Structure 1
Amino acid sequence: MTTPFGLSSTATTNTLVLGQKDLEIIQPPDDAISCLKFSPLSIPQTYLIASSWANDIRCWEIQSNGQSVAKAIQKHDAPILSCCWSEDGSKVFTAGCDKTAKMWDLQANTFVQIAAHDQPIRTIHYIQRPSYSCVMTGSWDRTVKFWDTRQATPLKQLALSERIYAADVFGPMAVITTADRNIQVYSLDQGPTEYKKIESLLKYQHRCVSIFTDKSKNPNGFAVGSIEGRVAIMYVETANPSVDNFTFKCHRSTPQPPTNTQDIFAVNDIAFHPIHGTLATVGSDGRYSFWDKDDRTKLKTSDVIND
């Protein structure tokens, strides 16, 4: 069967896992997955992309019954660390350890370089604003660059204090966190401009960041996860930061007597529900958990997911 990506593929029955309603994606990468992104709502079908340490980016169609159909694959020359979609769902952007970012035109199945840094590129995001669109890349060379995909040089380049470890973009806001645990908030409406520097509540290395919104769906804060099994909830504008901003422990083992020692695991990613505002965290303990940040409560934790 010919796919919308210009390639042929065959649907394969998925395997139920964990004894629940979870479905395992067929033909997964051969090494650790670095990033997962579902396609935007602007296209009628649902697709999933995954970048990996196997140097590849893969795409599946997710059918209404949860079954997956492998669609296409492209490769970098080194592990891919991040991926994202264009707003219209026609293109996928990737960035990785080969110090390049690439654009995958899914219909034409072309894969071309659009950006470069002096060190591996840790993050990539597509920015769509009323007056412009671009791709934002954050690198371990301590720079963030903004690219018009039709040009060989960046539209803008920002120098940061340390290596970029995590970033997120939502509407007019971008949040970037660096190796020294500095947090930078940028306004994107009139071109990328620094809006505010925020001191982190976390004492250890940041691993991930995710923007959340208010009830009107305007971005007003973010969650940061660290290697210490802890998440910080932080608002960009608040009259009472000591009250509104807080941290909570997660992805830790049950303390064992008599010393009450426990294993602590990194928080690898955070995602907010687009409607309800609850959040999910995934950790190196092989578990995922759901939280209500407004009530400051844990909703549910999964069993350990084994390899």
Structure 2
Amino acid sequence: MSFFSTAPSAGFGAASSAPQSAPAVGGPINTSVATKVTGEQDQEVLPGVNDSVSALSFSPTADFLAVASWDTFVRIYKVDKTSSQLVTPWQQYQHEAPVLDVCWSADGSKVISAGADKVARCFDMNTNQSTVVAQHNEPVRSVRWSKACGGVLVTASWDKTLKIWKVGPTPQLVQTVNLADKCYAMDVCNNIIIVAMAQKLVAAYILEENGQIRTASEQQSPLKHQTRSMVALPNGDGYALGGVEGRVAVQYFDDPPDKLGKVKKFAFRCHRQASADHPDIPRNESHIYPVNAIVFNSQGTFATGGGDGSINFWCGQSRTRLKTFETKGPKNAPKELFKTNANRIPITALAFNADASILAYSISYDWHKGYQGAIQENHVYLQPVSIEDIRKRPPKN
């Protein structure tokens, strides 16, 4: 797509402060139809970050991208596909410690971020002001906006609590839920709140219109190892989990067997590198990478990003991998190593814009190799998305 051909401007400004409106069958997932592309047309979002990117989020009403980083900043960029200058740095604000998550309010007027400074901050796009709107006793791991109760903020923390807040001139705590363990990931769909915790615990809650919360489901993760990422299914009837062992599990809250004894849930391997793909890996051995990000798009399909530096598009309905995109690895890596380089920089976050025409992704070190493997490269890119690459495929018979 030609609109990725121009360079962005170099600094943040305040040109304008108002955002602009804008059943499955059993069996393994099919990974045989993936197509690898270089992604050379992807445009970097500049000015960039100074530390690892923890989260990306597009506004639901306009093409504004929020980038959360461990360098303590949240940066907001305007993306205009019709302009000769695709990306414009918009505003930025700061936490007192690394930023761990970011989201938008339903009307796109507010950016809310969670940090290791034990608070959530709200940036008003109309006033360009940042205020503290939530507090915990430990770092706030996840933050989401829910349309329930007229619009509330949901925060989940390493202090083993889930909190509901009204965000107004004076933030108000509506409800607190004690969790069984630390929050590793949290997502919201309508009035359903899903929290993935330590010890492979996953709990779902229903937020009533009176502000009360009741437990809807408590399950153990079907993955063998620690949860790394989680997202609610588009209908709110389940969730997808990504683990450190390079597997994704799609679970449903209500999943009775059909007449043939089959259930809807399934799991599959991804973000693994076998010797067939990488000659330098001994025969019968595989490199296994964490699934760092899972995100759905407006077509109902989803993408995963892993520690292997690749992005996969998936259709859960047909259980098919639609496409694979490989990053190039460290700066100035030899081009011939593109498909065989086992040291590509991990994908740490993903975000589709509202109409799924753009995918934002970040490459940063995710620490899955410990400090010995640390790479000081941190970038955010925008990738044009073809509708054919993310369209649902028919279910298998």
Q: TM-score, normalised by structure 1?
A: 0.88
Separation of aligned partners in 2, 1:182 and 1:156:
21
CA contact (8 A) 2:144 2:187 kept: yes
Q: Secondary structure at the match of 1:71?
A: strand
Q: Compute the displacement of 1:94 (Å).
A: 0.8
1:269 is aligned to 293
Separation of aligned partners in 2, 1:160 and 1:77:
26
Tell me, yes or no, if structure 1 residue 246 matches structure 2 residue 266: yes
Tell me, yes or no, if structure 1 residue 224 matches structure 2 residue 241: yes
CA contact (8 A) 1:287 1:305 kept: no
List gaps (5 residues or longer) in structure 1: 7-16
Q: Compute the displacement of 1:259 (Å).
A: 4.8
Deviations 1:146-200 (A, max 9, x none): 1112445521111111100001111121111101111111112433321111221
* Fraction of identical pairs, as percent: 33
CA RMSD of aligned residues (A): 2.1
Q: Judging changes above 3 Å, is the alpha-carbon distance between structure 1 residues 55 and 24 closer, same or farther for their aligned structure 2 residues? A: same
Q: TM-score, normalised by structure 2?
A: 0.69
Tell me, yes or no, if structure 1 residue 149 matches structure 2 residue 156: no
CA contact (8 A) 2:39 2:325 kept: no
Q: Judging changes above 3 Å, is the alpha-carbon distance between structure 1 residues 89 and 135 closer, same or farther for their aligned structure 2 residues? A: same
Separation of aligned partners in 2, 1:122 and 1:72:
23
Q: Which of 305, 314, 333 in structure 2 is aligned with 1:291?
A: 314
Q: Judging changes above 3 Å, is the alpha-carbon distance between structure 1 residues 182 and 48 closer, same or farther for their aligned structure 2 residues? A: same
1:50 is aligned to 67
Q: Judging changes above 3 Å, is the alpha-carbon distance between structure 1 residues 117 and 242 closer, same or farther for their aligned structure 2 residues? A: farther
Separation of aligned partners in 2, 1:61 and 1:40:
13
Residue range with higher mean Cα deviation, 23-32 or 138-147: 23-32
Q: Which of 125, 135, 154 in structure 2 is aligned with 1:116?
A: 135
List gaps (5 residues or longer) in structure 2: 1-12, 19-36, 331-397
1:14 is aligned to none
1:204 is aligned to 225
Residue range with higher mean Cα deviation, 252-261 or 23-32: 252-261
Deviations 1:193-214 (A, max 9, x none): 211112211111101111123x
Separation of aligned partners in 1, 2:286 and 2:139:
34
Separation of aligned partners in 1, 2:112 and 2:154:
10
Q: Compute the displacement of 1:283 (Å).
A: 0.4
Separation of aligned partners in 2, 1:274 and 1:81:
25
Deviations 1:55-74 (A, max 9, x none): 00000000114810001110
CA contact (8 A) 1:201 1:246 kept: no
Separation of aligned partners in 2, 1:232 and 1:305:
27
- Equivalent residue pairs, number: 288
Q: Secondary structure at the match of 2:286?
A: coil
2:305 is aligned to 282
1:13 is aligned to none
2:284 is aligned to 260
Q: Which of 69, 84, 95 in structure 1 is aligned with 2:114?
A: 95
Structure 2 letter corresponding to 1:114 = V
Relative contact order (alpha carbons < 8 A, sep ≥ 6): 1 or 2 greater? 2
1:3 is aligned to 15
